[in-house]
A and B are shown apart, each in its own frame.
Chain A
Amino acid sequence: MIRLEDIWKTFVMGEQTLHALKSVTETISAGEHVAIIGPSGSGKSTLLNILGCLDKPSRGQYFFDDRAVEGLDPDELAQLRLNEIGFVFQSFHLVPRLDALANVELPLILAGMPRAERRARALEVLDSVGLADRASHRPAELSGGQKQRVAIARAISMRPRLLLADEPTGNLDTHSGEQILDVLGALNQQGLTLAVVTHDPDVARRADRILEMRDGEIIRRLSPAEISAAHPGFQREREGARP
């Protein structure tokens, strides 16, 4: 479904040229669950932004369903994000003045869906993340895990095929984080293609494939079994922290 061919992203800062991505080539098939790991500054968020059509590569080709993203104008990109791609952020990015239902409705409003239909759809999606009873709560009245579940509901309200999550559990405690990962995993089971950026091996382990990045390059492609071996210390630390 997704094909990246020799993707470069270059930032020019005065005299310095910074390569955020260096010749990234990767294919993600429909229904796959991919995790992108790596330290800060490794280029994983830049890669996610390019996957989400929020950013354009400096060089290289990105094909979404064999469609060259490069040739799309801003409106077509917006259309692509609206219909095909869902975003989940570390800091949730809910609109604070809108209640949970209205936040979930937002993409449906942008798509021009009639009021009654989108209400029903938003409620249905909220229900699928187990928050139907919180529909009229504002973000400030929700816990972190609930906020992230609302954000996921918003991301899938347009029934996209690709869901991009940037550190979805980064602001959550372990328990809420597990819940979120369960929700994402279930969505993947239903056929949604999932790309998760994380530096947490526990999160990465749930993926089918793990791309490890460093200095703008994919340095390793790991399986879930391999990640435990690659990051044993983290695993112990995590388990030791649990009561």
Chain B
Amino acid sequence: MSPEDTFRFATTALLQQPRRAGLSLLGVVIGVVAVIFLTALGEGAREYVTAQFQTLGTDIIVVIPGKTETTGMMPGFTGTPNDLTLDDAEALLRRIPEAIRIAPISMGNDTVSYENKSRQVIIIGSTPDFFELRGIPIALGSGLPEGDIDRGTNVAVLGRKTAKELFAEENPVGKSIRIGEWRMRVIGVNGPRGTHLGQNLDEVSIVPVATGMQMFNRTSLFRIMIELRPGSDTDAVKREIEDVILDRHREIDVTCVTPDSVVDSLSAIVDTLTLVLVGIAAISLGVAGIGIMNVMLVAVSERRAEIGLLKAVGATQRQVLMIFLMESLVISTTGAAIGLGAGYATIAFATWLYPAMPAEAPLWAVAAVLGLSVCAGAFFGVLPARRAMRLDPIVALSSKG
């Protein structure tokens, strides 16, 4: 019996019970779609993170108060560090030859109001270098003033959207606004930048760093961003930074983070999450396999007379086994094929809904899920097929059907 004939025979049997075959096939489809779509999301998330940090440039070091034993993990939860101060920032700029830009950052959240309109926005305190570092264009007026970073002035650069919401068509430059209890003068408006590193830079208000620290009554900076000369050895610079901090704080109570290390650790998190999700999806494939087994067991007991006949006519045990195994395989491979199409359709739909989110199923995952579902069909098909194979032809022939 040629494989082609076995396939044809199995197909006619399945088409005899289209709903039953269809439902067991649906289980496989769902499993395959789940795996393909979830790996695509995971891969997309990783690409997204990588892309975000790549726009930051690779020659960046972020100094965060608080130490961690394992770099890359969230600092700040490991004991009470010394304050990271503006003096520290100035010392770093002075003593690290590779540092070409330095942006100390303070951060808070407050109400910005103009006349009778107000908005709750994120207030970032920083220096003119911040605009360069984060790639924020100035659309109107000017950025933060150059000068002594210790001295706060009551000026603010508004995010594009914040400005629009408060001023509508009016030109905000030169206008007086309130940020919390503080009266500030608007000196500029950001150009569009959108969301970057999880912050929507169109919806912020940027003030001089000293002013920011006073506003929020902080003695410590949120972090310091340092841009290095291109091609600097970031590991060496990290050690230099730690030396400076050790000098000033008597301990290394900061964490230096590079985009690479952040990308690495975020990728690790994303990978773990993806694996967990894919694992769950793979379980659904196992469940689908059990569904196939159930359908095939029913088919074997319904078609006892047919099995008996096949044996009487001269089918070998192997041929009977292959006929029923082929039915399971047809269900699982058809399910896998439909699932493949549906999976890519789902991805296409998702990227159409959220164009910003890249999503592409990695080839290894597609290959693995297809292989897995075919194997599930074979694995769960063996038991029913063996049952068919072992049927006593005399008993089978005497059953109705």
Spell out A's residues near B (CB within 8 Å): 49, 52, 54-55, 74-75, 78-83, 85, 87, 89, 93, 95, 97-98, 102, 106-107, 109-112, 154, 158
Contact = CB atoms under 8 A, between A and B. Distances in A.
Given A49-B394, A93-B397, A110 B309 contact: no
B311 A107 contact: no
B311 A110 contact: no
B1 A112 contact: yes
B394 A110 contact: no
A109 B310 CA distance: 11
Contacts of B317: 74-75, 78
B316 A112 contact: no
A109 B314 contact: no
A78 B397 contact: no
A54 B394 CA distance: 7
B313 A107 contact: yes
Interface in B1-49: 1-2, 5, 9, 12-13, 15-16
A112 B2 contact: yes
Given A109-B1, A110-B1, A93 B316 contact: no
| Size category, B interface | 20 to 34
A89 B311 CA distance: 14
Contacts, number: 68
B319 interface: yes
B306 interface: yes
Contacts of B16: 97
A110 B313 contact: yes
B394 A87 contact: no
18 contacts: A55-B394, A74-B317, A78-B314, A78-B315, A79-B316, A82-B315, A87-B312, A93-B306, A93-B308, A95-B306, A97-B13, A97-B16, A98-B12, A107-B313, A110-B1, A110-B310, A110-B315, A110-B319
Contacts of B311: 54, 78, 81
A110 B312 CA distance: 12
B16 to A, nearest CB: 5
A81 B310 CA distance: 11
Interface in B309-351: 309-319
A113 B216 CA distance: 88
A75 B316 contact: yes
Given A74-B317, A78-B317, A52 B12 contact: no
A82 B9 contact: no
Contacts of B305: 93
B314 A82 contact: yes
Nearest to B8: A109
Given A95-B306, A97-B16, A109-B5, A54 B319 contact: no
Contact of A54 (B13, B312, B316, B318): B312
Contacts of A154: 313
A112 B318 CA distance: 14
Of A80, A81, A109, most buried by chain B (CB within 10 Å of CB) is: A109
A111 B5 CA distance: 11
A111 B15 CA distance: 24
A93 B315 contact: no
Contacts of B318: 75
Given A55-B394, A109-B1, A79 B309 contact: no
A79 B5 CA distance: 18
B393 interface: yes
Given A82-B314, A83-B314, 4 more contacts: A54-B393, A85-B314, A93-B397, A97-B16
Nearest to B401: A96
A85 B15 CA distance: 31
A107 B314 contact: yes
Nearest to B314: A82
Interface string B140-159: 00000000000000000000
Contacts of A106: 310, 313
B19 to A, nearest CB: 15
B316 A74 contact: yes
Nearest to B9: A109
A102 B318 CA distance: 21
Interface in B280-324: 305-306, 308-319
